Structure 1
Amino acid sequence: MRVGAHVSIAGGVDNAVERQLDVGGNCGQIFTHSPQVWRDPDIDDGEAERFRAGTRERLDGPWVIHSSYLVNLCTPKDDLRAKSVDSMQKEVDAAAQLGVEYVNVHLGAHTGAGTERGLANAASALDELDVPDGVTVLVESDAGSGTKLGGDFEHLATVLEASDQDLDVCLDTAHAFAAGYDLSTATGVENAVREFDDVIGLDRLKCVHLNDSKHACGTNKDEHAHIGEGLIGEEGMRAIVNYPDLRDVPLVLETPNEDGKGFAWNIERVRELREN
């Protein structure tokens, strides 16, 4: 079972390996810099080598780099598009430097341009990237609030089909739930997975952000809860982690650190829910 968490790179990206081990993870996710600002990754060769060696020797992998929250691939604004493409290029280059397989990105918001135009903008922006060998961009499912795209599986499928890049998908369970896919029961999980397979294809699913939700299905509200303690709940989480077609997909947690529970508690909870 590959399960881990989003951990900090404070003090050097190589520190993420030890932090992952400390919470009981064997794969995981990082930011290469603060996701709230436009900033380039600043990783020296020594850090990168220590990160690669630590990962190779001590973790199962994979790692995912999560792109900046400021990136908006759907935008109709030329300046924001240019910044977004530049930021993504820096992230895929950092992934190659670190030996990281995946760079994860939200499609963003069309801000009035409309769904069709926004999705076309996202596909063409991704096509501007020079993605190094061994790195794949994952488009992430979204909660779908406002003009944000990616809440509907069809949005993701449209971008995958329209882009010339070899793209895959990261499914966030809290986002999918917020967007209207009811994952709170075994039947709901079955229906959602089958729809994902029909619309996108399970072969394109390379990572699951495993998060419970503090808000109800279909509310478009994105706020994560501890595993089994949100509105997806224990039944839904158990169904997800044991669903046959999902058992080999890496699970990365972005659960909160509150109520005396952090990543270690949540990762252990996932392992308790997993049936051999």
Structure 2
Amino acid sequence: MLTIGCHLSSAKGYLAMGKEAVKIDANTFQFFTRNPRGTRAKAMNPEDVKRYLEFAKDHGISRILAHAPYTLNGCSADEHLRELAAETMRDDLERLEYTPGNCYNFHPGSHVGQGAEMGIGYIADMLNQVLTPELHTTVLLETMSGKGSEVGREFEELREILDRVERSDQMGVCLDTCHVWDGGYDIAGDLDGVLNRFDRVIGLSRLKAIHLNDSQNPLGAHKDRHAKIGEGFIGFEALKRVVSHPALKDLPFYLETPNELDGYAREIAMMREGL
């Protein structure tokens, strides 16, 4: 069965997210670990987590994905901001031990003029500070669209980060369909070619999750503007091929389209139809 969900607000806690997921016929979901535009995080509620885990087991919810705040930039030119990124990630991973065995996704960051090579080095340094043998969460690098000075538009940049991380067995990749399209990878016209390149450069065994989004922009625009499924330049048929591709069909998919819950419910039904 297709594992698919959407991004939900964590404001009311894990159990509330689980109930919202079931309401829209999702069997997974994504959430921000804290304010996406800041650093503040709510205190953990162990009782809420316990009730959620029981609910998730009863309703077949699996492989949830935590998303780091957008403000986390491990390759900033500002040393203080790099330290803050490491502290935020370390705290997030400690909190995720309440729900072990899932994934934590983050945007690699922006090198802000220092150059991709310097940015890659800083990102790997942060991960080497944060990852420890005691953690039970897989950390995912997200593919990026390449706007501004983002690190991670090319698969080769992600591979270089992975190669520099000492505990790379705790690492993986989240492929965002809008981002790779905006980054220049033609998943609509040559999905097999894109996946073959990913496999050669990174390895499909590293691919742990997919953000399923259409794009408001044409191929290679480097702008990162998500669109509803079927309302963008990638198109419904191409995204349907993504979820049904033999190399991808067993992965969890997470919608980040500009929707409310009813819109997500429609898109989940669209993606499941005929599978």
Normalised TM-score (structure 2)? 0.94
How far apart are 1:257 and its partner, in Å?
1.5
Match of 1:175 in 2: 179
CA distance in 2, matches of 1:109, 1:9: 26
Matched residues, number: 271
Match of 2:125 in 1: 124
Let me know the Cα RMSD of the aligned residues: 1.5
> How is 1:223-234 mapped onto 2 (pairs within 5 angstroms)?
223-234=225-236
Q: Secondary structure at the match of 1:148?
A: coil
Tell me which of 160, 163, 171 is aligned to 1:161.
Answer: 163
CA distance in 2, matches of 1:44, 1:96: 13
Match of 1:110 in 2: 111
Match of 1:45 in 2: 46
Q: Secondary structure at the match of 1:262?
A: helix
Deviations 1:19-41, CA, capped at 9 Å, x for gaps = 11112110111113221111134
> How is 1:37-76 mapped onto 2 (pairs within 5 angstroms)?
37-76=38-77
Q: Please tell me whether the aligned partners of residues 141 and 171 of structure 1 are also in contact (alpha carbons under 8 angstroms).
A: yes
Match of 1:5 in 2: 6
CA distance in 2, matches of 1:164, 1:151: 22
Q: Secondary structure at the match of 1:150?
A: coil
Tell me which of 211, 214, 217 is aligned to 2:213.
Answer: 211
Match of 1:85 in 2: 86
Deviations 1:83-113, CA, capped at 9 Å, x for gaps = 0001111111121113351110010000111
Q: Please tell me whether the aligned partners of residues 40 and 90 of structure 1 are also in contact (alpha carbons under 8 angstroms).
A: no
Deviates more, 1:5-14 or 1:151-160: 5-14
CA distance in 2, matches of 1:180, 1:112: 21
Deviations 1:167-202, CA, capped at 9 Å, x for gaps = 1000000000000001123xx111111110010000
How far apart are 1:5 and its partner, in Å?
0.8
Tell me which of 191, 194, 198 is aligned to 1:192.
Answer: 194
The code of the aligned residue for 2:223 comes to K
The code of the aligned residue for 2:162 comes to L
Percent sequence identity over aligned pairs: 34
> How is 1:15-26 mapped onto 2 (pairs within 5 angstroms)?
15-26=16-27
CA distance in 1, matches of 2:244, 2:49: 35
Match of 1:137 in 2: 139
